[in-house]
Amino acid sequence: MSAPWLPLLRRLGWRRLRQEPFRLALTVAGVALGVAVYLAIQLANTSAVRAFRNSLDAIAGKTHLHAAGGDAGIPEELFPKLRAAEGVEKAAPVVQQTAWLRRPGPGEERWTRGAPSQGRAALVLGVDLLGDAAFRGYRAEGALSLGEMLERMADPRGIFITRALARELGVGEGEWIEAEAARRLRFRVRGILQPAGLAEAMEGRVALLDIGVAQEAFERLGRLDRIDLILKDPSRLEEVKKRVEALLPPGVIAERPVRRGEDVEKMLASFRLNLTVLSVIALLVGSFLIFNAMSASVVRRRGEIARLRALGMTARQVALLFAAEAALIGLAGSVLGLGLGILLARGALRATTLTIRNLYAFLEAGRVDLDPLLLGAALAAGTGVALLSGLGPALAAARVAPAEGARELGAGGVGGAPNSRFIGRTLEGALLASAAAFALARLPAWGGVPLAGYLAAALAVAAVALASPALAAGGAALLRRLPGRALWLAAHGLGRNPGRNAVTIASLATAMAMLASLVIMVESFRRTVAVWTEQTLRADLYAAPASRFIKGSGASFAEEALDRVRGIQGVAAVDGFRSLRVPWRGEWISLSAGDFGVLAERGRLLFTEGDSAGIVRRARERGEALVTETFALRFGLKRGDSVRLPAPGGETALRVAGVYYDYTTEGGHIVVDREMLRRVWGDRRLTSMAVYLAPEADRARVSREMERALDPSMVLISNAGLRRRVLEVFDQTFAITYALEGVAVLVALLGVATALSSNVLERRREIGVLRSLGLTRRGVAGAVMGEAGLLGLLSALLGGAAGAALAAILIFVINKQSFGWTIRYGLPWAPLAGYLAVAAAAAFAAGAVPARAAARAPIAQAVREE
């Protein structure tokens, strides 16, 4: 393209901006919203993962290798052996626990629901400061020397906290704080850590104890959580690792510190991918908006294009001119989207962090990292999508010949009426896309990622777009049969530009289909979880340490607490539950234990096959294990298979007695009888307890006596309270998905307003003539509003039907292959109809501004032009 086209682009672009500021602003806003959502999710995802990785790096310090034994810990007698191992330069014992910290309040009030509003979750490390200084740098305010820090930490109630924690808790040096983990304890703040190194982990939610104090406080006497090692020659890590492994007992493994981060990132992969796919929907809907805006521009400016062609501009130059205009609109929207995305990223990060904390691991992430690569990718994505969306209209403009200036574009083009052959072909395409989606949905995951499922979902969306022309033509034909000039005008408007209106329907229907599919999936999932809680959570009261409500906490309590609760009048049975992480097949898995006798008599697990009581009873008698559905899918297990787990006395073979549904964790559990856990693993700790009351028991009195019998750190929750807590976590998890789809629908509504504005502009003469023949302003406005309402109604019908099919792909393919959960598909008619009705009403409201413009069209000028 020659250089003179640039001034021409500037003149034409400036003229369009002056003539069509409203439509241009809507188009740019649509692109900006799409880019903003995409960027916000990407920034939130990367910031959360980076915060977790940076925290792990700060906690690990200079550690090259560490020995860990999961929640059961490792015997401290192992420490001198590893310190003396060949190739090891330094070794440091560590006790690590997550706990609730708060400023002491009056009395011994019990924290409820596990999350005190005035407290803060924090990572508490117990270290041997003298030896640990080589691993992690410590700097205290007041320029305290290492010796002075050692002296202060010798206080059996001394604790160091970060400046961030001190500020949040409202305490200073010398004041007291309370910690809740295995039990409630008070510590005196003996120093404030400067924000460097370890003190920067978890956004400063870190506290430091002497290792002996930590062992006593967290009931880890004689046990450590891990032993960190610095090697003499890091290049020989694998060689030293083998030597270290030879010294380790069963159930203890040696690994690099980064392995923990890799494991969590692996767990987060599906969650992050699903959010990314959802964020792209807004960009996709925005592409329809660009296509519509550019198509309308070509139709309105065909006379101008013909004159340019007559003056010597080639078809290629015309195409490049319109493609450049689309790219500039995309660039303008993308630049605005960058600013808006950065503003939205903080809220997205909060929602993402909350989900990670509820489902995966303890995490604090408050800072959004502005990655230049992500900013550039978002800018390129917005501009690229706009350019691709503008190629069709640009090619249509290039086909305008000098003599065609006064003639509309042909069938199936940018603005003309598509013929029956075109509609037939698009319907065939919709059927083919649907068939291909059905075939892809039956394929397995590839590398643990449901790629075929995502392709099936994309084809389902394509089917929606391809079905839109037939729906637009059918809607216009139906409207013509109804009496009234306003309805006739609305039908004429819908039928005059079915190509453009089909794109409008496609964009809104796509957004509505995604919204409907999410409503169906989330409501189906929620109902499944609600039924599961009603069936499986059958105890009357539950108790657990407060810090167990922090994901990843290893807090536990002595099983003697069960005896104290059993002695309370009105208690019929008590089931103690234990959950701990153990290594297996190179991964950390959850080994759990419960009283199978109580479970068989009073509980009810939902098994994939078989009777609950019978399976649990046989598992107890035969020393077999139960596995959750997600665990079975994760490792390819089924009923009757054998699992060999590491134990202090060597590997133990367990036969799988049954597979049951469970929605508490993504990775799942393997469950054994608690007597077997005591006998084989030597573990006598508990994670929580379930209390069953006698029919005549006074629940309030039993609760009060349990509070007196248990440590104040224990949280008591009723059956209804626990079920409510489960559903609260569920709702928090999916809140961000609704926000994403809400933006997609908003972008589509901008498309409705843009399309109607274009239709009104092209029909000025027609509207003016009808006004001169007696049609009132209200009639004109009603016709435009009716057209908007019909677009919304048709989009809602198509989107609802497509959403039902898309939800099946999400539930039975993408969710199943990503997370392993079984969801009972069900159509939530009331919320689904409500959401679609609101979206259709919003489309109707989007016609208000174009309707007002149509009603104000000058009659005299229109009659003169006619």
Q: What string of H, E and C letters represents the secondary structure of 281-312?
A: HHHHHHHHHHHHHHHHHHHHCHHHHHHHHHCC
What pLDDT shows up at residue 401? 79
Span of 207-221, 302-316, 599-613, 776-790 with lowest mean pLDDT: 776-790
Q: Answer whether residue 415 shows pLDDT above 70.
A: no
- Burial code of 826-849, b = ≥16 C-beta within 10 A, e = fewer? ebbeeebeebbeebbebbbbbbeb
Ranked by mean pLDDT, which of 394-398, 533-537, 635-639 comes out on top? 635-639
Range in 171-180, 347-356, 403-412, 483-492 the model is least confident about: 403-412
Residue 614's pLDDT band (boundaries 50, 70, 90)? Answer: very high
pLDDT band with cut points at 50, 70 and 90 for residue 858: low
**More confident: 415 or 668:** 668
The pLDDT tens digits for 73-110 are: 899 999 999 999 999 999 999 999 988 898 886 544 44
pLDDT band at 437; cut points 50, 70, 90: very high
Provide the pLDDT confidence category of residue 340 given band limits of 50, 70 and 90: very high
Q: Is the per-residue pLDDT at 298 higher than 80?
A: no
Query: Residues near 611 by Cβ (< 8 Å), separated by ≥ 6?
Result: none
What mean pLDDT comes out for the span 704-715? 88
Mean pLDDT on 733-739: 77
**476 three-state secondary structure:** helix
Q: Are 253 and 78 in contact (CB under 8 A)?
A: no
- Tens digits of residue pLDDT in 139-169: 888 878 888 888 898 888 999 999 999 999 9
Phi-psi region of 728 (alpha: psi -120 to 50; beta: other; left: phi over 0): alpha
**Residue 179: closest CA among 233, 226, 216, 132:** 216
pLDDT mean over 300-310: 78
Task: Tell which wins on pLDDT, 789 or 225.
Answer: 225
* pLDDT tens-digit map of 633-692: 888 899 999 999 988 888 899 999 999 998 887 778 899 999 999 999 988 999 999 999
Dihedral pair phi/psi, residue 362, rounded to 5°: -65, 130
In the numeric block, the tokens 């994505």 are attached to 381
CA atoms within 13 A on the CB side of 865: 14
Across 810-837, average pLDDT? 86
The pLDDT of 561-583, averaged and rounded, is 92
How big is the chain, counted in residues? 866
pLDDT level of residue 19 (50, 70, 90 thresholds): low
Q: Please write the tens of the pLDDT for every residue from 749-764.
A: 776 777 666 666 666 6
**For residue 416, is pLDDT > 50?**
no
726, 114, 628: which is closest to 359 by C-alpha? 726
Q: Return the minimum-mean-pLDDT range out of 410-414, 566-570, 682-686.
A: 410-414
Phi-psi category of residue 271: left, alpha or beta, with phi > 0 → left and psi -120 to 50 → alpha: alpha
Spatial distance between the Cα atoms of 213 and 731, rounded to a whole number of angstroms: 39
User: What average pLDDT score do residues 285-302 get?
Assistant: 76
Does residue 462 have a pLDDT over 80?
yes
Residue 231 has pLDDT above 90, yes or no: yes
- Distance of CA 321 to CAs 4, 10, 326, 327, 337, Å? 11, 10, 9, 10, 24
Q: Which residue is listed with tokens 């408050």?
A: 366
Mean pLDDT over each residue of the chain, to the nearest integer: 83
Is it the case that residue 267 has pLDDT exceeding 90?
no
pLDDT for 736: 79
CA dist., res. 776 & res. 771, Å (int): 6
- pLDDT above 90 for 701: yes
